[in-house]
């Protein structure tokens, strides 16, 4: 990266290889974060939880379930990844094989702040019936 000109002068700093390394690192970090960002539905407005504690990310073992409240239908829409679970019982059908495949499976429920608690309870019941026992509720402290 540095070379001395053969005439005994100070070495020159080569900028081009440093830019190449920087771009490779940028592409690497963008590729590993895009999968996690795709799982999070930005339209869901999380409930306010001022005492919420940040949980360590375990990307290999965690799964996100989004619960969005549709006020026009007066019903919750539950999504496991990109799959809409309608009826809600489909959620357990998807989670049961995932839990069998990964015993350390952790599930995060991202429920809209407008969703009634009874609807979140129904989702938790379906998750529990699939055998998943590590469940977290997502909220925001801002």
pLDDT tens digits, 26-74: 888 877 765 555 556 666 776 777 776 776 776 778 888 889 888 888 8
**Same domain as 67, residue 22:** no
User: What is the maximum alpha-carbon separation in the chain?
Assistant: 80
Indicate which CATH number applies to the domain containing 129: 3.30.420.270
46 domain-assigned: no
Question: What integer best gives the mean pLDDT of the chain?
Answer: 81
Q: Is residue 55 part of a domain?
A: no
Q: What is the pLDDT of residue 44?
A: 72
Who's near 123: CB < 8 A, 6+ residues apart?
A: 65, 67, 76, 78, 88, 91, 109, 111
Q: Which of 123, 16, 116 is nearest to 80 (CA)?
A: 123
Could you tell me if residue 7 is inside a domain? yes
What's the pLDDT band for 121 if we cut at 50, 70, 90?
A: very high
Task: Compute the average pLDDT of residues 84-105.
Answer: 89
Q: How many domains does the chain have?
A: 2
H helix count then E strand count, the chain: 3, 7
Domain enclosing residue 6, as ranges: 2-39
Are 83 and 121 members of one domain? yes
| pLDDT computed for residue 36 by the predictor | 55
């Amino acid at each position: 990266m540095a070379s001395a000109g053969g005439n005994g002068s100070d070495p020159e700093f080569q900028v081009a290889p440093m830019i190449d390394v920087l771009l490779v690192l940028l592409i690497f970090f963008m590729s590993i974060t895009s999968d996690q960002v795709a799982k999070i539905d930005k339209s869901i407005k999380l409930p306010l939880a001022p005492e919420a504690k940040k949980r360590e990310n375990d990307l290999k073992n965690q799964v996100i379930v989004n619960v969005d409240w549709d006020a026009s239908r007066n019903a919750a829409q539950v999504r496991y990844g990109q799959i809409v679970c309608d009826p809600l019982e489909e959620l357990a059908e998807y989670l049961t094989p995932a839990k069998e495949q990964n015993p350390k499976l952790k599930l995060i429920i991202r429920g809209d702040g407008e969703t009634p608690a009874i609807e979140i309870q129904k989702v938790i019941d379906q998750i529990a019936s699939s055998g998943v026992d590590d469940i977290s509720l997502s909220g925001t402290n801002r």
